[in-house]
Amino acid sequence: MSAKRTEEIAVAVDTEQLIKDTAKKLFFGEGRFNATTQEIADAAGVNRTLINYYFRSRDNLFNTVFEEAQKQEHDRTEKIVFGDGSLYDKISQYLDVILEQSKEFPYLEIYMVTQMNQGCVYKDPETMNRMLDKFYLQVALEMDKGYITKMRPEQFVLNFISLCSFPVSMRPLLQETMGFSQESYDRLLEERKEIILDMLFTRKINE
């Protein structure tokens, strides 16, 4: 392959990624789910025809961005669950990821919930079942050691998800009704990590 052709491919890849990154920011960072092809092109600083060239339509671009976001979240969760470390460490890692993501893309969780209700979600049931089995087992073992209040592992997961996801998925409404600025709500979320860990665990597993 010639050097010129290699350069052309690199430029094409960079342009395609720029369009996806810009669309993701508009859709999930600003909540502009109905952003037009022209608005995306303007924000990316490219010609609108390039969006049609790479993605054929605005809907295809949206679906591509959403599916990649779902898979990225799934892969990160899988890496944490099957990684080394205590349950406390894994939940701490997950909180770092999800709370940081919520700052950059506050509308992503909202859209995922609406798409899930329509059956449009990234599906890998085999891996999901293995993750749940691994997580439930680790939860049960820590309950036996006295680090977590005894309950069904499923209840522990519901508590964890509720404490973590509700302030993230409801961010636009809560931020508005509670009178928080973007920055002050970010700080509120940062404070939640230790609060959630203290509520889930009777004491740190590595103490």
Query: Domain coordinates of the chain in residue numbers?
Result: 1-56, 66-200
The pLDDT of residue 5: 42
136 or 74, higher pLDDT: 136
Q: What is the mean pLDDT of residues 174-195?
A: 91
Reported as a pLDDT band with limits 50, 70 and 90, residue 74 is confident
In this structure, CATH architecture of domain 1-56: Orthogonal Bundle (1.10)
pTM beyond 0.85: the answer is no
Check whether 18 has a pLDDT greater than 50. yes
Q: What is the mean pLDDT of residues 165-190?
A: 89
Reported as a pLDDT band with limits 50, 70 and 90, residue 123 is low
Check whether 73 has a pLDDT greater than 90. no
134 or 14, higher pLDDT: 134
Q: What is the mean pLDDT of residues 33-50?
A: 93
Same fold, 1-56 and 66-200: no
Domain 66-200 has CATH 1.10.357.10: yes
Average pLDDT, the chain: 86
What secondary structure does DSSP assign to the chain, as a single string? --HHHHHHHHHHHHHHHHHHHHHHIIIIIS--TT--HHHHHHHHTS-HHHHHHHHSSHHHHHHHHHHHHHHHHHHHHHHHHTSSS-HHHHHHHHHHHHHHHHHH-TTHHHHHHHHHHTT-S---HHHHHHHHHHHHHHHHHHHHTTSS--S-HHHHHHHHHHHHHHHHHTHHHHHHHTT--HHHHHHHHHHHHHHHHHHH-SS-TT-
